[in-house]
Amino acid sequence: MHFIGIKRILYWVIGGKFPSMLNRGILPINPYREIPLILVEGNGMRSDLSRLGLTQAITVPNVKEIPIIPFLPKHESQDTFHFVFLSRIMPQKGCELIFEAVEKMKNTSHRDFDVTFFGPIDPSYSKQFFSRIQQNPKCKYDGFLNLDESCNYEKLASYDAMLFPTSWDGEGFPGVILDAYIAGLPVLASRWNMNEELIKEGRTGLLYSPQDANELQKAMERIIQMDTADLRQACRQEAMKYDACHVLTEEFFSNLIERTIVKDF
């Protein structure tokens, strides 16, 4: 990789694979030493880059223009606890773990529950996924929830908690966690990549070991016995930290310009 004729540059990293790709030699590190400023989505990524000698990295979280603050219905009095999964539907995102956990919970849960899946289906997983759905009456697929249409945040807010048992190696700051927070949903997520930075245990969600259906089951059983009203409010408060209007300000961009150093490569 060569940067030729560029006088001022910053490198804005999307996703979480960049440090590991440098560490494994998939990307050459030397050209990145010449970049004045590298923007990454989390503090853990920044620390990883610093250990590689790229000390010019700063943290800029994933943000979103929050189009609507959906009404939070009261859920605690209902008989059924409603989980939602909102992501690309494939094994690496934890879909198989959800089915395994649901099977385990059929005989152990003291409260009725169900799981609704939203998202595009990986073609290589489609047949297996629909076979799983047909075998499990507590799970259903409801297509694609387009959150570019702000009214769909109201639909997302009608659920009780989001499941996010990912083990996808490209995971950075998942936008679905921010979507869950906007809708006031606590997130049950694997301790994977940035999830531990983003989810406050017992306040905005629950964390468990990745690729472990038993731990996912325990987290699901734990949350359906909780009064989640405080968690839902905490999630809404957390969402406002990532409102694009509050993060990507004129001052923010002015600081970026000041921190990029004009130099010849």
What pLDDT score does 257 carry?
79
Cα–Cα distance, 58 to 131 (Å, whole number): 45
What pLDDT score does 10 carry?
84
Cα–Cα distance, 124 to 88 (Å, whole number): 12
Boundaries of CATH 3.40.50.2000 in the chain? 80-242
Task: Convert the pLDDT of each residue in 9-30 to its tens digit.
Answer: 789 999 999 999 999 999 999 9
What pLDDT score does 1 carry?
44
Task: Convert the pLDDT of each residue in 212-262 to its tens digit.
Answer: 999 999 999 999 999 999 999 999 999 999 998 888 888 888 888 777 754
Residue 94 near residue 166 (C-beta atoms within 8 A): yes
What pLDDT score does 261 carry?
54
Residue 62: which of 205, 254, 193 has the closest Cα?
A: 193
Number of H helices, E strands in the chain: 12, 9
pLDDT mean across residues, the chain: 90
- Give backbone dihedrals phi and psi of 59, rounded to 5 degrees, phi first: -95, 125
CATH topology of domain 80-242: Rossmann fold (3.40.50)
CA 169 to chain centre: 13
Residue 138 near residue 161 (C-beta atoms within 8 A): no
**Two structure tokens written together for 164:** 């996010």
Half-sphere exposure of 152 (CA within 13 A, CB side): 12
pTM greater than 0.85: yes
What residues of the chain score a pLDDT lower than 70?
Answer: 1-7, 67-68, 70-77, 261-265
Contacts of 122 (CB under 8 A, 6+ apart): 88, 89, 90
Cα–Cα distance, 51 to 54 (Å, whole number): 7
What pLDDT score does 263 carry?
46
CA 112 to chain centre: 26
